[in-house]
Amino acid sequence: MRIYVKFYAKIRDEIGIDHMFLDMGNNPSRLIEVIREIDRRMNKKIIEEYYVRRRLLISINDTLIDIDDDILLRDGDKIDIMPLPSGG
């Protein structure tokens, strides 16, 4: 199962790459598993930190999701991960 992940803004700067392809094995993966796999690959605990603090937006196949939803990612899914700005 292959997933395309794209990073935005500060998250992209912190993680150091624009996008990646993740191979998640044969079974559909939960969102939190994908997040942890990204951090494991990059050897940095970045995305999970944003996730725990609810400071990110996640889109799956161009639709924003509620990060609390128990979503299963499937082969070919495209994930966008961006920080949530709060300034005015």
Partner 1 sequence: MRIMRNVVGQAVNLTKEEMEIYDRQIRITGFGIEGQKKLKSKRALVIGIGGLGSIIATYLTVAGVGKIILVDRDKVELTNMNRQILYNIDDVGKAKARVAAEKLRRMNPYVDVEGVVEEINEDNIDDYVKSVDIVLDGLDNFRTRLLVNDACVRYRRPFIHGAVSGFNGQVMDIIPFKGPCLRCVVPKEPQEESKVVPVIGVTSALVGSIEALEAIKLLTGIGEPLVGYFLVINGLHMRFKTFKVIRRPNCPACGKGISK
Residues of the shown chain interacting with partner 1 in the complex, contacts defined by CB under 8 A? 8-10, 53-55, 57, 59, 62-64, 66, 68, 80, 82-88
Nearer to partner 1, 6 or 41 (CB): 6
Nearer to partner 1, 43 or 53 (CB): 53
- Work out how close the CB of 21 gets to partner 1 at its nearest, in angstroms, rounded to a whole number: 20
Which pair of tokens denotes residue 62? 């161009």
Q: Do 84 and 10 meet the contact criterion of CB atoms below 8 Å apart? A: no
Q: How far is CA 55 from CA 26, 43, 51, 81, in A?
A: 30, 20, 6, 11
Farthest CA pair distance, the chain: 44
- Work out how close the CB of 22 gets to partner 1 at its nearest, in angstroms, rounded to a whole number: 20
